[in-house]
Structure 1
Amino acid sequence: MRSPDLPDHPDRLWRDPEPRRSYDVVIVGGGGHGLATAYHLARHHGITNVAVLEKGWLAGGNMARNTCIIRSNYLWDESSGIYEHALKLWEGLEEELGYPILFSQRGVLNLAHSLQDVRDSVRRVNANRLNGIDAEWLDPAQVAEVCPIVNTSPEVRYPVLGATYQPRAGIAKHDYVAWGYARAASDLGVDLIQNCEVTGFDVSDGKVTGVRTSRGRIAAGRVALCAAGHTSALAERAGFRLPLQSHPLQALVSELLEPVHPTVVMSNAVHVYVSQAHKGELVMGAGVDGYTGYGRRGAFHIIERQMSAALELFPIFARAHLLRTWAGIVDVSPDASPIMGLSPVDGLYLNCGWGTGGFKATPGVGSCFAHTIANDRPHPYNAPFTLERFTTGALVDEHGAAAVAH
Structure 2
Amino acid sequence: MKPAPRLPEHPPRLWKDAEPRKAYDVVIVGGGGHGLATAYHLAADHGITNVAVVEKGWLAGGNMARNTTIIRSNYLWDASAGIYEHALGLWETLEERLGTTVMFDQRGVLNLAHNLSDVREGKRRVNANQLNGIDAHWLTPAEVGKLAPVLDVSERPRHPVHGATFQPRAGIAKHDYVAWGYARAAYELGVDLVSDCEVTGFTQTGGRVTSVSTTRGEISAGTVVLCAAGHSAVLAEKLGVRLPVQSHPLQALVSELLEQVLDTVVMSNAVHVYVSQAHKGELVMGAGVDPHIGYGRRGSFHVVEEQMAAAVELFPIFARAHVLRTWAGIVDVTPDASPIVGPLDAAGDNVWINCGWGTGGFKATPGIGDVFADSVAHGRAHDLVAPYALERFTTGRLIDEHGAAAVAH
TM-score range, shorter chain: over 0.9
Match 2:381 to one of 378, 381, 386: 378
Q: Residues 355-394 of structure 1 correspond to what in structure 2 (within 5 A)?
A: 355-394=358-397
Q: Which aligned runs of 4 or more in structure 1 are off by greater than 6 angstroms? A: none
Q: Residue 352 of structure 2 aligns with which residue?
A: 349
Note the C-alpha offset of 1:155: 2.3
Note the C-alpha offset of 1:205: 1.3
Q: Residue 399 of structure 1 aligns with which residue?
A: 402
Residues 237-263 of structure 1 show CA distances to partners (whole Å, capped at 9, x for unaligned) of 011110000000000000000011010
Alignment partner of 1:321 is 2:290: no
Corresponding letter in the other structure for 1:388 = E
Q: Residue 138 of structure 1 aligns with which residue?
A: 139
Provide the identity percentage: 74
Residues 351-388 of structure 1 show CA distances to partners (whole Å, capped at 9, x for unaligned) of 00000000000001100110111111111100000101
SS of equivalent residue, structure 1 residue 258: coil
Structure 2 gap segments, 5+ residues each: 1-10
Q: Residue 99 of structure 2 aligns with which residue?
A: 98
Give the distance between the partners of 1:49 and 1:90, measured in 2 at CA: 26
SS of equivalent residue, structure 2 residue 133: coil
SS of equivalent residue, structure 1 residue 373: helix
Q: Residue 45 of structure 1 aligns with which residue?
A: 46
Alignment partner of 1:277 is 2:278: yes
| Contact in 1 for aligned 2:157/2:314 (Cα 8 Å) | no
Note the C-alpha offset of 1:54: 0.4
Q: Residue 221 of structure 1 aligns with which residue?
A: 222
Give the distance between the partners of 1:263 and 1:165, measured in 2 at CA: 10
Q: Residue 171 of structure 1 aligns with which residue?
A: 172
Q: Residue 72 of structure 1 aligns with which residue?
A: 73
Residues 327-362 of structure 1 show CA distances to partners (whole Å, capped at 9, x for unaligned) of 000000010000000012210001000000000000
Q: Residue 7 of structure 1 aligns with which residue?
A: none
Give the distance between the partners of 2:286 and 2:106, measured in 1 at CA: 20
Q: Residue 232 of structure 2 aligns with which residue?
A: 231
Residues 119-178 of structure 1 show CA distances to partners (whole Å, capped at 9, x for unaligned) of 000000000000000000001011011111110011211010000000000000000000
Give the distance between the partners of 2:257 and 2:12, measured in 1 at CA: 28
SS of equivalent residue, structure 2 residue 384: coil
Give the distance between the partners of 1:225 and 1:198, measured in 2 at CA: 11
Q: Residue 15 of structure 1 aligns with which residue?
A: 16
Give the distance between the partners of 2:261 and 2:94, measured in 1 at CA: 27
Q: Residue 180 of structure 1 aligns with which residue?
A: 181
Note the C-alpha offset of 1:294: 0.5
| Contact in 1 for aligned 2:141/2:164 (Cα 8 Å) | yes
Corresponding letter in the other structure for 1:299 = S
SS of equivalent residue, structure 1 residue 394: coil
Give the distance between the partners of 2:106 and 2:336, measured in 1 at CA: 29
SS of equivalent residue, structure 2 residue 320: coil
Give the distance between the partners of 1:92 and 1:120, measured in 2 at CA: 31
Q: Residue 189 of structure 1 aligns with which residue?
A: 190
SS of equivalent residue, structure 2 residue 324: strand
Q: Residue 127 of structure 2 aligns with which residue?
A: 126
SS of equivalent residue, structure 2 residue 164: strand
Corresponding letter in the other structure for 2:126 = V
Give the distance between the partners of 2:313 and 2:341, measured in 1 at CA: 38
Give the distance between the partners of 2:249 and 2:157, measured in 1 at CA: 31
Note the C-alpha offset of 1:201: 0.8
Report which stretch shifted further, 159-168 or 373-382: 373-382
Corresponding letter in the other structure for 2:159 = Y
Corresponding letter in the other structure for 2:268 = S
Corresponding letter in the other structure for 1:158 = H
Note the C-alpha offset of 1:11: 2.7
Q: Residue 8 of structure 2 aligns with which residue?
A: none
The TM-score, its normalising length taken from structure 2, stands at 0.96
Give the distance between the partners of 1:392 and 1:334, measured in 2 at CA: 14
Note the C-alpha offset of 1:187: 0.1
| Contact in 1 for aligned 2:20/2:192 (Cα 8 Å) | yes
The TM-score, its normalising length taken from structure 1, stands at 0.97
Give the distance between the partners of 2:16 and 2:383, measured in 1 at CA: 34
Give the distance between the partners of 1:210 and 1:38, measured in 2 at CA: 18
Note the C-alpha offset of 1:37: 0.2
Corresponding letter in the other structure for 1:399 = H
Q: Residue 5 of structure 1 aligns with which residue?
A: none
Corresponding letter in the other structure for 2:189 = L
Structure 1 gap segments, 5+ residues each: 1-9
